[in-house]
């Protein structure tokens, strides 16, 4: 992940802590630990990115809510406004840096999609660890990318679409995908909300079935096209700030994946 993206995510987390504390105790008062932490974080971030400028809208708005004296109070509306500005700043500064991958697919295509997930891990997308909520890939059919027990698929999908994190969406198209209204709704929402996505077509899938489902500007990939996969790998390395995989290791992983999906 882009280190600067991690910095601004930390600021958003502090904003969330401020909002939660206000819900519990009312306004934040002078010397509040979360607000003082936010002030230190946002000042350092703005300075390091040369954003302290009187003609820069987000800076002006944040400065208006930057209280120096100990007699301040921060209410819920102000804390929410701060968070909204920081999130919009994140979207503006880092539109091409990503944190998560969500794979929209049909459960019937589990075997192929599992192979895709393993290919993403081979490229360098981090695998989840035993501790912490650090999953990068969300996919309902792969053991390492399951939605947690007790959570609803629809709620998780909504959080990926509407949350502050930058999520890259992959749609695995197959005949069974286009037989599912839920999958078609997912694809339509991804397109309508202007999310960054990649369509991957199963080897035998007829591309003419895509029709007007999504904007046809992004180029789709045939799942077993090794040349398109090479480009896809390079794109992911850039989007997720990954060290390029050794070429021999990549070709071995790519060819094993192609063998499975073909």
Q: Quick one: which of 151, 115, 108 has its CA closest to 133? A: 151
- For the chain, give every domain's residue range: 3-93, 100-261
Is 3-93's fold the same as 100-261's?
A: no
What confidence score (pLDDT) does residue 187 get?
Answer: 86
Low-confidence ranges of the chain (pLDDT < 50): 143-152
Cα separation, 222 vs 90, whole angstroms:
33
What is the structure's pLDDT at 176? 92
Q: Are 28 and 79 contacting, i.e. CB atoms less than 8 angstroms apart?
A: yes
Burial of 27 (0-12, 13-18, 19+ CB in 10 A): middle
CATH number, domain 100-261: 3.40.50.10140
Q: What are the backbone dihedrals phi and psi of residue 170, each rounded to the nearest 5 degrees, phi first?
A: -120, 130
**What pLDDT shows up at residue 216?**
56
Contact assessment for residue 203 and residue 223, using Cβ atoms and an 8 Å cutoff: yes
- The span from the CA of 251 to the CA of 254, in Å, is 5
- State how far the Cα of 94 lies from the Cα of 89, in Å rounded to an integer: 8
**pTM score:** 0.85
Tell me: domain 3-93, CATH 1.20.120, correct? yes
Report the pLDDT value the prediction gives residue 145, as an integer from 0 to 100.
42
CA pair distance 247, 141, nearest whole angstrom: 29
Phi first, then psi: give them for residue 32, nearest 5 degrees.
-55, 135
């Amino acid at each position: 992940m882009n280190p600067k993206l991690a910095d601004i995510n930390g600021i958003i987390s502090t904003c969330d802590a401020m909002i939660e504390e206000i819900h519990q105790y009312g306004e934040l008062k002078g010397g509040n630990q979360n607000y003082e932490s936010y002030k230190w974080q946002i000042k350092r971030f703005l300075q390091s990115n040369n954003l302290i400028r009187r003609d820069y809208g987000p800076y002006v708005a944040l400065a208006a809510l930057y209280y120096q004296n100990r007699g301040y109070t921060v209410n819920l509306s102000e804390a929410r406004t701060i968070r909204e500005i920081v999130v919009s700043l994140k979207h503006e500064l880092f539109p091409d840096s990503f944190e998560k991958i969500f794979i929209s697919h049909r459960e019937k295509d589990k075997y192929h999609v599992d192979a895709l997930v393993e290919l993403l891990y081979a490229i360098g997308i981090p695998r989840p660890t035993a501790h912490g909520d650090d999953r990068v890939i969300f996919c309902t059919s792969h053991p390492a990318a399951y939605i947690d027990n007790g959570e609803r698929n629809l709620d998780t999908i909504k959080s990926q679409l509407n949350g502050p994190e930058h999520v890259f969406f992959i749609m695995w198209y197959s005949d069974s995908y286009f037989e599912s209204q839920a999958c078609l709704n997912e694809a339509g929402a991804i397109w309508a909300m202007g999310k960054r996505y990649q369509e991957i077509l199963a080897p035998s899938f007829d591309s003419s079935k895509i029709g007007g489902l999504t904007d046809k500007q992004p180029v789709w990939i045939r799942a077993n096209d090794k040349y398109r996969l090479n480009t896809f790998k390079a794109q992911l390395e850039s989007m997720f700030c990954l060290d390029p995989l050794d070429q021999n290791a990549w070709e071995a992983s790519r060819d094993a994946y192609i063998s499975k999906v073909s």
